[in-house]
Structure 1
Amino acid sequence: MPETIVEIKKKLDDRIGQPVLVKAQAGRKRVATHHGVLSKTYPAIFIVHLNDGQGSLDRISYSYTDVLTHNISLAFE
């Protein structure tokens, strides 16, 4: 992934509407995995609409800082 928040936002702007696999740190040794679609980008966050049926969440937001610090990883399908 790119090395600045501006570059990350530009890359995600080009991928709006595409399926994505998100792996997020959920604790010390736990990783949460979500399948969804990148739906919107905002100046500080981006939204992923989930389609994996985990819990009652239908969308989740992440900050570009999460990507920059490797707290989450994105894999476009």
Structure 2
Amino acid sequence: MASRSVLGDIRRDLEAYVGSKIRLRANKGRKKIVEREGVLEGTYPNIFTVRLSEADSVRRVSYSYADLLTETVELVVCTASGKETKFEAHSR
């Protein structure tokens, strides 16, 4: 299990991108991979939330920082200038 300090570091790194547009790629198991675009809405002690704007509604999904660490979830941050940066969660 990842230590609390590693997960805390991931949270602090992710806080810099709150409000930014992101591309999300999540492995849901059984060969099902979900790719969506949304906005990083918030970071909390154990999870972070993403607001997904779909055709007729707005959904919010949440993932744990351990999902980033185990690469079950991958994030690409899209900046205003059009540059894309893959968010890397490294174990220390």
- TM-score normalised by length of structure 1: 0.85
Report how many residues are paired: 73
Q: How far does residue 30 in structure 1 lie from its aligned partner after superposition? A: 1.8
**Cα deviation 1:4-46 (Å, max 9, x = unaligned):** 2111101111110000111000223221011100011100000
For 1:9 and 1:45, the matched residues in 2 are separated by: 9
5+ residue gaps in structure 1?
A: none
Please, what TM-score do these two structures have when normalized by structure 2?
A: 0.72
Indicate the RMSD between aligned Cα atoms, in angstroms: 1.7
What does residue 71 of structure 2 align with?
Answer: 70
Bigger Cα Rg = 2
Q: Which residue of structure 2 lines up, in the alignment, with residue 34 of structure 1?
A: 36
Q: Partner amino acid for 1:27?
A: G
Structure 2 alignment gaps of length 5 or more: 1-5, 79-92
2:68 maps to amino acid:
V
Q: Which has the higher contact order (CA 8 A, sep 6+)?
A: 1
**Take 2:14 and 2:50, find their aligned partners in 1: how far apart are those partners?**
11
**Counterpart residue identity of residue 33, structure 1:** E
